[in-house]
């Protein structure tokens, strides 16, 4: 569903749309931190699954790992941020094969099918796919891998199989493309990206390290990446 259309008119909460792809570890950081802030900040958090590969192609961007020095830095940075944000990320054995060659298109089509028909499972399914690829270095492209993640997320197997079949349909493919195109129209060039509407104007924030700035736009206090451990 389009982010602008989903913003409830007259809602006292500010809507924050989180554009993400499970192939992006930094998206996982942003996802988990905003889930922690959902009961603290006066915001309505909307999950918006998109396809990072489509965004990169549309904007002429490239993965940081394609630049050797950035890739070397990223491997160290991920582990530092994972510890600071308390998200269980581990480095994978074959980054290029897993992220750049296999990618995430089957997974994100499945996530999109979940979003369309079983949105109550969207958060848990997304999290379990991140757990597979970024915590346990497991596949997220094969049907049995996606079904395993869905099962761990609590999605009944019969429904998961129907959604897996649905994920190859034109409806789902077009929905994911439309969501990705919408992100690009907002100016998104990488993930995670957050869009909130202040005085009817969309405000784009890029990166899981900009959540303090997002809080400022919302008029909310930043209490660190794990707010429950912070002193108010």
Each domain of the chain, given as residue ranges in start order, spans 11-225
pTM score: 0.92
**Residue 229: what pLDDT?**
66
Asked if residues 125 and 155 have their Cβ atoms less than 8 Å apart, the reply is: yes
Structure confidence at residue 8 (pLDDT): 42
Element housing 124 (H / E): helix 122-130
Among the CATH numbers 3.30.360.10, 3.40.30.10, 3.40.50.2000, 3.40.50.150, which is that of 11-225? Answer: 3.40.30.10
φ, ψ dihedrals at 193, nearest 5°: -130, 145
Low-confidence ranges of the chain (pLDDT < 70): 1-11, 229-232
Q: Note the pLDDT of residue 4.
A: 43
- The per-residue pLDDT for 230 is 53
Res 96: pLDDT: 85
- pLDDT at residue number 149: 98
């Amino acid at each position: 569903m389009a982010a602008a259309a989903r913003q409830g008119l007259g809602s006292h909460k500010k809507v924050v749309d989180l554009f993400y792809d499970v192939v992006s570890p930094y998206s996982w950081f942003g996802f988990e931190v905003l889930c922690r802030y959902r009961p603290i900040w006066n915001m309505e958090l909307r999950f918006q699954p998109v396809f990072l590969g489509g965004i990169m192609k549309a904007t002429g961007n490239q993965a940081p790992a394609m630049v050797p020095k950035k890739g070397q830095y990223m491997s160290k940075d991920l582990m530092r941020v994972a510890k600071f944000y308390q998200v269980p990320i581990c480095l994978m054995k074959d980054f290029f094969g897993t992220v750049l060659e296999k990618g995430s298109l089957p997974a994100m089509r499945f996530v999109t099918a979940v979003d369309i028909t079983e949105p109550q499972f969207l958060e848990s399914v997304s999290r379990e796919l991140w757990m597979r690829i970024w915590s346990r270095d497991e596949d997220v492209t094969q049907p049995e891998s996606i079904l395993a993640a869905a099962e761990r997320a609590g999605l009944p197997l019969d429904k998961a199989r129907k959604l897996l079949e649905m994920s190859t349909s034109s409806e789902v493919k077009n929905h994911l493309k439309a969501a990705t195109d919408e992100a690009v129209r907002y100016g998104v060039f990488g993930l995670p990206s957050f869009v909130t509407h202040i005085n009817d104007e969309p405000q784009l924030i890029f990166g899981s390290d900009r959540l303090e700035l997002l809080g400022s736009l919302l008029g909310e206090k930043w209490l660190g990446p794990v707010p429950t451990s912070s002193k108010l």
